Amino acid sequence: MAQENHLLAAVPPPSAKKQPQVLELHGDKRLDDYFWMRDRTNPEVIAYLEAENAYTEAMMQHTEALQASLYNEMLARIKETDLSVPYRKDDYYYYSRTEEGKSYPIYCRKKGSLDAPEQVLLDQNELAKGYEFFNLGVFQASPNHQLLAYSVDTSGAEQYTLFFLDLTTSQLYPETLADTYVSFAWGNDNKTVFYTKVDATNRPFKLFRHTLGTSPDEDVLIYHEKDEAYFLRISKTRSQAYLLMSLGSNITSEVHYLDANNPTGSFQVIHPRQQGMEYSVEHHSDRFYIVTNDEALNFKLMQTLVASPAKENWQTVIPHRDDVMLSGVSAFVDHLVIYERKAGLPTIQVQKLSTGEENEITFPEPTYSVYEGSNPEFNTTTLRFNYTSLITPSSVFDYDLETHERELKKETEVLGGYEKTQYESERIMATASDGTQIPISLVYKLGIQKDGKNSLFLTAYGSYGASYPASFSSTRLSLLDRGVVFAIAHIRGGAEMGRKWYEEGKFLHKKNTFTDFIACAEHLITRKWTASDRLAISGGSAGGLLMGAVLNSRPDLFKVAHAAVPFVDVVTTILDTSLPLSAMEWEEWGNPNNKTYYDYMKSYSPYDNVKAQDYPHILITAGLNDSRVKYWEPAKWTAKLRELKTDNNLLLLKTNMGAGHGGASGRYESLKEIAFEYAFVLDRLNLVEA
């Protein structure tokens, strides 16, 4: 610590200039001294970000050995040369593999059997050469398996360029399609494709039809979604019979369908958008299955004939239940797979369509995550699903829908002698301020004593109805093996306990998300899992908003915090309809043009509520090319915290100047980012070996 104190004295933190901007609405004036940081073309903005990066580097210099050690041990747990579990589609087996020393996967297939010669479809390492950032979006073979559509993002801004590759000649088609999003579908004629383009706010808003081998200038605009609250997506049913154009805001859906054998035909609407009503569509033979929340808070399952899909013809298959949330369904030739959440945990039900027989797939651990795997084939009796828990590495299972037997195809190998029996996971409940019971998932190394002396790493998300998965992380072992307890607070705003759980953590109930998190932290301290001077917290994006809100309200409760790409300037951002987090977000947070919502949002907005008080050690990470949470939100927040905080704790801003919302691309660079973040936390918790 002596070295750190020396650094604090020798290296002053950057000081951002103040250029007051008055923002006025509803007769209320907000003074924003750092509004000028929004102008990326201003050299002073880049200079400030670079100064913060230089300061961060200087203040973390003493942890370089720790970062290297963390990186090396994380890398040593990964089987660098590895193979995914192949999945079958028609006469082909598709899979990806990785090679030691290479950052990205290689996509391959074999025809007829797994003993056949390998055909490399796409080597992402070759495509990524020369780029600081690289991400693969679309990856779809044509129905006849002779062509491949793929798209790439080389900035992190989530704007993709679409390419077409002839898999028999390995030659690219001459045309490329720019500014596309990641939804895409093939017509059954193997030459007609559908893709979405993004607008200035990166919202997919137009659907185009393209014929391979023709100029993009000839592409046909199929649909233009003008409502700024709606996303447009295109997909194809597993049956390969229909193309689905899905239009959706946060709380409203509209689906159109088209015979995939007639790709130049016209899409037909199933049910026109109805404010507050959501629905999704799955196809089976002569009918559509529809999951909807129409008069069903936790969703219900309906069916209707394809010939008469209007809502008045829908018939109930599974009624609404107060204690079970219907998450989705998958249709196969003679089975319906039903995904649900019960008592905060995901479950899978299987219904045999020809007999009505039902069966539940059960899971053994107290907290876990399960989700559907690659199931491209309709005419099958095998369901692939992925299972993981806080102590079980990601596992791929094939489940026989007829015999109910499951086969473990692969459990991700963790090198270095990982033994799951040396770790324990459990789920406990904390009591929120209004009496609600909040689940907490925990994992720790055996031998931990609840004596208040453990360091604990607490994370959460709590927005958009997204349930935080209790999943395995080999990198997390670097915390657990140092005696850190890891915990997930399943707070309201997610959907762990059903749709009501989400509704109680949004709009004018958003503060439940923050008070739930605080209640979880207090419970962990009261039950002596940890103490406030040993408690680290972390959250990203909307979870970064959570971090900002709880740091403003209860900074005394935490020792160290990490906020990744944090959405912290809530009111200003959502008022600006030129930004992605604006009009489409009104159905999540509320519309601040309404004074009631404005006042409420302003009362918790992290940036607007920074005040002169002591704060914990804080690391803030951002991406210059982030299209979801613009770089200036974490930058402005850092500047305001520097100006007002009254402590000598470390405040660092690290901006990745060549990436976006998801951070660095490539597995090695991603590991370096995690190692850096863990080094900050461990250093601030005084868990660094002398």
Question: What residues are annotated to the active site?
Answer: 541, 626, 661
Residues 6+ positions from 265 with CB-CB distance below 8 Å: 258, 259
Q: What are phi and psi of 90, to 5 degrees?
A: 60, -120
How far from the centroid of its chain's Cα atoms is residue 495's Cα? 14
* Torsion sign across C-alpha atoms 575, 581, 586, 590: negative
Q: What's 469's DSSP letter?
A: P
Residues 6+ positions from 120 with CB-CB distance below 8 Å: 106, 107, 108
Q: Percentages helix, strand, coil for the chain, rounded to the nearest 5?
A: 25, 35, 40
Helical axes 511-526 vs 542-553, angle rounded to 10°: 60
Query: Are the C-beta atoms of residues 36 and 48 closer than 8 Å to each other?
Result: no
Q: How far apart are CA 365 and CA 344, in angstroms?
A: 13
Q: Name the residue type at position 567.
A: F
Structure tokens at 375: 């199931």
Q: Name the residue type at position 106.
A: I
Query: Are the C-beta atoms of residues 553 and 519 closer than 8 Å to each other?
Result: no
Report which of 19, 148, 43 is spatially closest to residue 94, judged by C-alpha positions: 148
Residues 6+ positions from 270 with CB-CB distance below 8 Å: 254, 255, 256, 257, 279, 281, 288, 290, 309, 310, 311
Whole-angstrom CA distances from 573 to 16, 39, 661, 685 are 20, 14, 16, 34
Q: Which residues does residue 204 pair with via DSSP β-bridges, in sequence order?
A: 198
- Which uninterrupted H or E stretch holds 679? helix 667-684
Query: Are the C-beta atoms of residues 150 and 163 closer than 8 Å to each other?
Result: yes
Sheet holding 395-400: strands in order across?
Answer: 368-372, 382-389, 395-400, 406-411
| Dihedral angle computed from the Cα positions of residues 639, 645, 649 and 652, in that order, rounded to the nearest 10 degrees | -10
The number of residues making up the chain comes to 690
Whole-angstrom CA distances from 281 to 90, 294, 306 are 24, 14, 11
Q: How far apart are CA 379 and CA 374, in angstroms?
A: 14
Q: Name the residue type at position 239.
A: S
